[in-house]
Amino acid sequence: MVGTQDYSEGNTSWVNYQSTVQNHTDTDGESASIGFGVDATKTLIGGYISFVRTANPSKGGLHFGVYNSAGTSIDDVLTLEEGQATFNKQTASRIAVFNSSKNLVSGTTGSGLILSSDVLSIDINGLTEETNLDRNSDYVAIYDASAGTIDKVKMSNLSLGVSYQGVSNEFNPADATNYYVGSIPHITGTTPDINRIYIPKSGIIKAVYVYFYNGTAGSSETSTVSIKINSTIFVNVGSVQNNSTSTYLGNTGIDRSVSQGDYLEIKWTTPDWTTNPTDVSLSYVVYIE
């Protein structure tokens, strides 16, 4: 059958054509239909549907394809080998599969795929494996849950973070004094910039944790801790008391950029104690993403 079909409900401007071929025997049968549609200005794309049915329904297949201009081959954009899906009424430039038990993907001409519900499932077993990764130029695909889109991210931005740790020797702190702690315990003292921890990769300081062990606890006056970046930048970590054997300070709200080649020290500023702690040692961890 060749002719013009009138699908006027909600779509009155479209002219549609359909060709159907049927062949059957006493034991099985098959049919195929091919159609396309254009609007009144002949500018919007059409599509086709072909369906094959045999005596065994599981052997049937449904193909849906579109093409942009006359004379080009039709590409399959969706193939269902088995099962059933319902195609709700859409414009010719929109394709959607509505089935609550399957992932839902929709798309429009020129916009790529849009994730409409569940995360898109892709079988990666048949893909070519990349063995020479370049973190500065290669990308990976991610699903942005807040935007509902699939985006690309450069591999260099997928770092899981790195921690830098320093420790002091055991010493008796004086009142109202600045101490600088790094990765070499035996040079802990009051002179800055000689106990550096260098940063090999740029990132953002996200958290700092400082632990004090006080051999003899002092009084309850409060001291302050900062992280020193290079010579002149000081970022407040918080305050701490040394009035028990073990005291701890943690700050997970730090958001400070650092660059490759910068160096760090912990600066501890002591108060005027009524009773000074003695045999004090401290360790710290700086987490950078």
Residue indicated by tokens 């760090």: 264
* 221 close to 210: Cβ distance less than 8 angstroms: no
Residue numbers of the domain that contains 153: 2-157
3-state helix, strand, coil in the chain (%, to 5): 5, 50, 50
What confidence score (pLDDT) does residue 149 get? 84
Alpha-carbon distances of 53 from 97, 99, 116, 181, 255, rounded to whole Å: 21, 21, 30, 78, 62
What does the pLDDT look like over 2-61, one tens digit per residue?
344 444 444 433 344 444 444 444 445 555 555 555 555 555 555 545 444 444 444 444
What confidence score (pLDDT) does residue 42 get? 56
Cα–Cα distance measured from residue 238 to residue 236, given in angstroms and rounded to the nearest whole number: 6
Name the residue among 242, 238, 239, 237 with its Cα closest to residue 286: 237
Number of domains the chain is built from: 2
What confidence score (pLDDT) does residue 129 get? 84
Q: Are 22 and 138 part of one and the same domain? A: yes
Q: Are 18 and 89 part of one and the same domain? A: yes
Q: Are 224 and 190 part of one and the same domain? A: yes
**Domain end residue (candidates: 104, 125, 157):** 157
What confidence score (pLDDT) does residue 206 get? 92
Q: Are 244 and 151 part of one and the same domain? A: no
| Cβ neighbours for 107, distance < 8 A, ≥ 6 positions apart | 94, 95, 113, 114
What confidence score (pLDDT) does residue 224 get? 98
**What is the mean pLDDT, run by run of 10 residues, along the chain of 289 residues?**
41 43 49 56 53 46 44 47 50 41 42 45 72 81 84 79 92 96 86 94 93 97 97 96 96 94 97 98 94
Q: Are 37 and 22 part of one and the same domain? A: yes
What confidence score (pLDDT) does residue 158 get? 76
pTM over 0.85: no
Q: Are 22 and 133 part of one and the same domain? A: yes
Cα–Cα distance measured from residue 249 to residue 241, given in angstroms and rounded to the nearest whole number: 9
**Domain end residue (candidates: 134, 157, 180):** 157
Residue indicated by tokens 């079909």: 5
Burial (CB < 10 A; 0-12, 13-18, 19+), residue 225, is: buried
What confidence score (pLDDT) does residue 41 get? 59
* 171 close to 255: Cβ distance less than 8 angstroms: no
Domain CATH for 234 = 2.60.120
Phi/psi of residue 49, nearest 5 degrees: -130, 130
**Domain end residue (candidates: 157, 174, 204):** 157
Cα–Cα distance measured from residue 276 to residue 198, given in angstroms and rounded to the nearest whole number: 32
Q: Are 18 and 144 part of one and the same domain? A: yes
